[in-house]
Amino acid sequence: MRDRVIRWLRRHVPISRLQHILRVEQFSVELAQRYHLDPEQAAQAGLMHDLAKFFKPQRLLQVAQAEGVVLDPVDVANPHLLHAAVGAIVARDEFGIQDEAVLDAIRNHTLGCPGMSALSCVVFLADSLEPGRGDTPELVALRQSSQQDLYRAVWLTCDESLRYLIARAQQIHPRMVLTRNWALGLTHKKTPTSRSH
């Protein structure tokens, strides 16, 4: 199966994107092992997370609408955000993936989702933090966080993404904010001694 997916990717994404995908696959496995999750599920979701990354905007919208994906106005304005949802559809239809945990991890890798599984958190973090993204102090700190506390790392990674989008006057998808608030809430639940304001 892995060889088949890689052959498909070679035809549908540039080599630089394939290299990113393979790094996400590897990092997903490392994080899965760190948090006692199934490394095979993590590898599969990591390998397939960007299947639809280079679909044209119109195709992303058409596939998402045909599947009944509920579209936010931000999705319509920025159809590339749909590559995660559409990637899960491709994984199911092209490669016969039936494992809902894997499909959800593909679906949630860009914006996250409140209440998402630990496996989804792993792939979300691996996509944002894989080594090819660079070695800024922020990324180094986030990678360290990803080894210590899954939900704290999701919250902080969302914060970094939001800062990036705000600095560039980009639209923010409400689901990213909801994901951030969910992960923040889980983190604060674990630290009842945090100061009240």
Domain definitions of the chain by residue range: 2-189
Pairwise CA distance, residues 123 & 46, whole Å: 6
Burial 44-55 (b: 16+ CB within 10 A, else e): bbbbbbbbbbeb
- Confidence (pTM): 0.95
Q: Which fold has domain 2-189?
A: Hypothetical protein af1432 (1.10.3210)
Pairwise CA distance, residues 123 & 145, whole Å: 15
- Joined together, the tokens standing for residue 30 give 């490392």
pLDDT band at 196 (very low <50, low <70, confident <90, very high): very low
H or E segment to which residue 105 belongs: helix 100-107
Type of residue numbered 49? H
**For residue 191, what pLDDT is reported?**
57
